[in-house]
Amino acid sequence: MNIWILDSESGITLLYKAYMDLPIDEDLISGLLAALNQFTTYELKEGIESIEMGGLRWAYLEEKDANLLFVATSEKNISSNMLKARLNIIMQSFIEQFVSENKDEWKNVWKGNTEHFSSFKDTIDEYYSQWLTAENISTIAEYFDILGVFQQILNLLINVIEGHFTTEKKGNIYDQIESMFNNYLNHKYVQNNPELSKISFSRTSGINIININPANCDMIVVEKQVINLISRLVSKIKQEEGYYVTLHNFIEENIFEYLISNLKLLSELNLFKFLLQLFLLK
């Protein structure tokens, strides 16, 4: 697996981490990857999600607000869904570490000093080590997919709040979430399962579960708590806005489109029916 983090407009590489020895020029391939994404976005009105090229599988994720493009490539024994889920974890971790706290200054943070991000290679190493272990244990590999799905769902729910709530309602629901997290972190089951304390919330970066290490926890307990978190958040959103307005907002933020686009993966993980009912039912 090799990972690129690029400026999506210029194609400049902010960070490159290689685990496969590929006979390619790093700078040349970076420009090509960015240009290919720009071309498909311009011509097809939609960026690349995943492709097969040069005997490898490639996955793309773009963070448009920060002009960032995240690209990963792997051998074909890794499914496109798993590759995208892993890349999403890396993307969310990078944004949380470097972008979320400096949104107004972000464009001036890295230019001329890409060494600013070199420490993030250690973070990628940690994730990669976990994934190597997961590849030998199917239940853990499946769990990484579940975490990736849940993180994306949480991101979409925060987008609903950020994009459709009034300032007053936004402040109200964030107060409720902060109170919920304070109570949650003091609960006995969190103290007995330390990985649960890595679930975090801030008003700038949203809800993050990307730091959980499946190899160090009871996966059933963690999955149960994340499902409960998503369910409570959906309930709070419906209470604030009402069912029909909330349903419209879910559609506007492409939540149902995400579910349909990932139908195969969600069905394999036994999550599709649960999530569809959660968002549709009053």
Return d(Cα 282, Cα 277) in angstroms, integer.
9
The beta-strand segments (E) located in 99-230 are: 200-202, 206-208
For residue range 59-107, list pLDDT tens digits in order. Answer: 888 887 888 889 888 887 777 777 887 888 888 888 888 886 666 677 6
At 99, which CATH number? 3.30.450.30
**Do 177 and 46 share a structural domain?**
no
**Do 80 and 105 share a structural domain?**
yes
Q: What is the pLDDT of residue 237?
A: 94
**Do 158 and 118 share a structural domain?**
no
Q: What is the pLDDT of residue 107?
A: 67
**Do 162 and 62 share a structural domain?**
no
- For residue 236, the SS3 value is helix
Nearest Cα to Cα of residue 58 among 70, 41, 42 = 70
Domain boundary among 84, 100, 135: 135
| Confidence check: pLDDT of 46 > 70 | no
**Do 269 and 156 share a structural domain?**
yes
DSSP bridge partners of 50:
59
Return d(Cα 16, Cα 103) in angstroms, integer.
22
**Do 146 and 273 share a structural domain?**
yes
**Do 129 and 93 share a structural domain?**
yes
**Do 178 and 64 share a structural domain?**
no
CA dihedral 168, 171, 177, 181 (to 10 degrees): -160
Highest mean pLDDT among 107-121, 133-147, 188-202: 188-202
Contact 82, 72 (CB under 8 A): no
Q: Mean pLDDT of all residues in the chain?
A: 80
Return d(Cα 85, Cα 78) in angstroms, integer.
11
The predicted model scores a pTM of: 0.56
- 19 backbone dihedrals φ, ψ, rounded to 5°: -115, -10
CA-atom Rg of the chain in angstroms = 19
Percent of the chain predicted with pLDDT > 70? 78
Domain boundary among 87, 112, 135: 135
- For residue 203, the SS3 value is coil
Which residue has better confidence, 66 or 252? 252
Residue 259 sits in which domain range?
A: 138-280
| Confidence check: pLDDT of 136 > 60 | no
**Do 190 and 116 share a structural domain?**
no
